[in-house]
Structure 1
Amino acid sequence: MSDAPQPASDARAEGRFTGRVALVTGGARNIGLAIAWRLAQEGAAVALNGPDPTETEAAAAAMRDRGMSAVACPGDVSDARQVDACISRTVDVLGGLDLLVNNAAAPMLGRGSLLDIDVADWDRSFAVNARGVFLCTVAAARVMSAGSSIVNISSVGATRAHRAAVAYDASKGAVDAATRAMALELAPRGIRVNAVAPGPVINDRFALLDPAQQQARAQPVPLGRVGDGSDVAGAVAFLASADASFITGQVLNVDGGLSAQLRPSGVDLSLDNPTS
């Protein structure tokens, strides 16, 4: 999903974030880019963070070309100094910070047998996925005012294990736990903290799979398809908005029903296709 998302329909472009400033980490591609566009289409001025300065500036430029307010603040979310610099740039250029989306994540590093995991892959997973959420949240909360919102991007892997992805799942489990704890800590300041946990979603890596592999990813999903960035972006926009003003400390699964089922379809065909 490296291409810019399509413009929002009139029904979505409601201006819920007019006058608000949002920072989306990992916002230059895939889910993060879809989230950034959704918030901007609803009126937010958006700061895009990403590890590649060229890619991040190109994403911000594409948004500006469509008349949106966007700025790039590239950097590694696991580095405290780079995080502080990104927050400062957002505030200095866009005038404040009201919404933080902690989307940046390391891919499923070190997939394979638990006994063969490289400690470096484990450490990098936690450095980006968990430490990054911590650093960005603390830095953002220091400059946010009451009524602000933070949305962390978790994964269904936090509660339903992927095979051969222990480091990734463990780091996303940390995101879920941190979401609840941060929500309690920041509630007295009027800052809400929630999370969205996507299931299988189309991204650059998914696009490289052949059709049979793509279909295999969709087969266990009760709704019969994988999600895309707009599915996640819609959930983020809701949780970040005043429509969710009494919701904090929650993790919303956006997974087509994947986590609701005990057994996937195909295990018992008589139940999958009951006859009258």
Structure 2
Amino acid sequence: MSAGRFAGARVLITGGSRNIGRAITERFAAEGAHVAINTVVEGEAEELAGLLRTGSRRAIAVPADVSDPAAVEDMLARVESELGGIDVLINNAAVPMLGRVPFFDLTLAEWDRQFAVGARGTYLCTRGAAERMSDGGSIINISSIGATKAHREAVAYDATKGAIEAFTRAAALELAPHRIRVNAIAPGAISNARYQGEDPAVQQAEVTPIPLGRAGTGGEVAGLAAYLASPEAAYITGQVITIDGGLSVQARQATAEIALVSEREGSA
């Protein structure tokens, strides 16, 4: 990590106070960026901004519902006013997949909320930020392996992530003449507060199919985001980068096959 790689850069992270979003916020701040932290949770962004603010590094909280066009415009105007512009946008805000919802139990309200925050919010923030990127910039959208490898009972969540990946490619094409790069990151199983609070047996069941044998960390996703926003990735745009410990590259293993492999490894 280079402590000054993003010195002076202005970075807006939506959903930037928890889990992956917090890790990304902390990574850019550690590398010298001025950060604007968005959330809808009262007080969270303010607390994190206070921890990250130093004499030379600015950190501000910009609470807003990213599905609301007026709120997004106010947020972006404030970031521009207080930080002087926007160089990097991380579209991380999402409705989390906290529980499984069978297909016929999914309500239209739940469907609409997923798309409002995930897809609509990504579009609104991207458009507004791109208009303020006077000297080029980098936009990174957070997707999920669920965009291409469906979760059971998560139709709205996975469909939203699929829309984000299609939007990433289309926006990259449209914004390339303005020297704005648009990429996406598709994480697999990432350790967070929910995962860490599960029974160890449940945790083990979740990571058993992963070739690297563990969940990823928010810090690892943040490292990839920092790379994609950096000059080292200046020729990368329109791409979706998967970070899942190899989960999505393998043929499906049935539970019985996994158990057999584990038994063989245990007796080797």
Q: Bin the TM-score by the shorter chain.
A: over 0.9
1:123 paired residue number: 112
3-state DSSP class of the match of 1:32? helix
3-state DSSP class of the match of 2:139? strand
Q: Which residues of 2 match residues 79-90 of structure 1 at below 5 A?
A: 79-90=68-79
Query: Take 1:263 and 1:124, find their aligned partners in 2: how far apart are those partners?
Result: 31
Matched, 1:63 2:72: no
Pick from 169, 179, 185: which aligns with 1:180? Answer: 169
1:247 paired residue number: 236
Q: CA deviation at 1:66?
A: 9.1
Amino acid at match of 1:178: F
Pick from 189, 213, 236: which aligns with 1:200? Answer: 189
Q: Which runs of 4+ in 1 moved over 6 A?
A: none
Q: Which residues of 2 match residues 13-92 of structure 1 at below 5 A?
A: 13-64=2-53, 68-92=57-81
Query: Take 2:5 and 2:134, find their aligned partners in 1: how far apart are those partners?
Result: 17
Query: Take 2:217 and 2:81, find their aligned partners in 1: how far apart are those partners?
Result: 33
Structure 2 unmatched ranges of 5 or more: none
Q: CA RMSD in A?
A: 2.1
**TM-score, normalized by length of structure 1?**
0.91
Pick from 81, 94, 101: which aligns with 2:90? Answer: 101
3-state DSSP class of the match of 2:43? helix
Change (3 A) 1:144 1:213: same
Q: CA deviation at 1:26?
A: 0.2
**TM-score, normalized by length of structure 2?**
0.93
3-state DSSP class of the match of 2:252? coil
Amino acid at match of 2:222: A
Query: Take 1:43 and 1:265, find their aligned partners in 2: how far apart are those partners?
Result: 46
Query: Take 1:211 and 1:270, find their aligned partners in 2: how far apart are those partners?
Result: 20
- The percent identity for this pair of structures is 54
Q: CA deviation at 1:273?
A: 5.7
Aligned length: 265
Q: CA deviation at 1:138?
A: 0.4
- Contact 1:109 / 1:165 at 8 angstroms: preserved in 2? no
Q: CA deviation at 1:81?
A: 0.8
Amino acid at match of 1:28: S
1:231 paired residue number: 220
Amino acid at match of 2:178: R
Amino acid at match of 1:115: F
Amino acid at match of 1:61: G
